[in-house]
Amino acid sequence: MKFPKNLSAKLEARKQNNALRQLPSTSSAIDFASNDYLGFAKSKTIFNQTHQFLLDNDFCENGATGSRLLSGNHPLYELAENYLAQFHQAEAALILNSGYDANVGFFSSVPQKGDFILYDELCHASIRDGIQLSNAKAYKYQHNNYEDLERLITKVQPTTDNQQLTTIYIVTESVFSMDGDSPDFETMIAIAEKHQALIVVDEAHALGVFGENGCGLLQQLQVQNKIFARIMTFGKGLGCHGAAILGSNELKNYLVNFARSFIYTTGLAPHNIATIYCAYHELSNEKAAQHALRENINFFNQQKQLLGLKPLFVRSKSAIQSAIIPGNEKVKTIASQLQQNGFDVKAILSPTVPEGQERLRICIHSYNSEAEISRVLELLATFVF
Interhelix angle 270-285/44-56, rounded to 10 degrees, is 120
For residue 351, is the peptide bond before it cis, meaning its omega torsion is within 30 degrees of 0?
yes
Angle at 270 between CA 264 and CA 276, to 5 degrees: 95
Q: What is the pLDDT of residue 38?
A: 98
Q: Are 244 and 96 in contact (CB under 8 A)?
A: yes
Rounded to an integer, the average pLDDT of 201-219 is 97
CA distance 91 to 108: 22
Share above pLDDT 70 across residues of the chain, in percent, rounded to a whole number: 98
- Confidence label for 279 from pLDDT (cuts 50, 70 and 90): very high
Over 90: is that where the pLDDT of 157 sits? no
Amino acid letter, 162: N
Q: What is the pLDDT of residue 17?
A: 87
Q: What is the pLDDT of residue 183?
A: 98
pLDDT digit string, tens, across residues 363-375 = 999 999 999 999 9
Q: What is the pLDDT of residue 25?
A: 82
CA distance 81 to 87: 10
- Confidence label for 343 from pLDDT (cuts 50, 70 and 90): very high
The candidate with the shortest Cα–Cα distance to 100, out of 279, 245, 237, 249, is: 245
Q: Helix, strand, or coil here: 109?
A: helix
Over 60: is that where the pLDDT of 31 sits? yes
pLDDT digit string, tens, across residues 99-119 = 999 999 999 999 999 999 999
Q: What is the pLDDT of residue 385?
A: 84
Q: Are 239 and 43 in contact (CB under 8 A)?
A: yes
Pairing of strands 320-324, 198-202: unpaired
Please tell me the least confidently modeled range out of 9-23, 84-98, 174-188, 300-314. Answer: 9-23
Rounded to an integer, the average pLDDT of 309-334 is 96
Q: What is the pLDDT of residue 159?
A: 62
pLDDT digit string, tens, across residues 225-277 = 999 999 999 999 999 999 999 999 999 999 999 999 999 999 999 999 999 99
Taking only Cα atoms into account, the Rg of the chain, rounded to an integer number of angstroms, comes to: 22
Share above pLDDT 90 across residues of the chain, in percent, rounded to a whole number: 93
Over 90: is that where the pLDDT of 357 sits? yes
- Confidence label for 162 from pLDDT (cuts 50, 70 and 90): low
Over 60: is that where the pLDDT of 161 sits? no
Please tell me the least confidently modeled range out of 49-63, 155-169, 353-367. Answer: 155-169
CA distance 337 to 89: 45
CA distance 107 to 131: 5
Q: What is the pLDDT of residue 239?
A: 97
Q: To the nearest whole number, what is the mean pLDDT of the chain?
A: 96
Q: Are 347 and 334 in contact (CB under 8 A)?
A: yes
Q: What is the pLDDT of residue 110?
A: 98
Helix (H) or strand (E) holding 129: helix 125-132
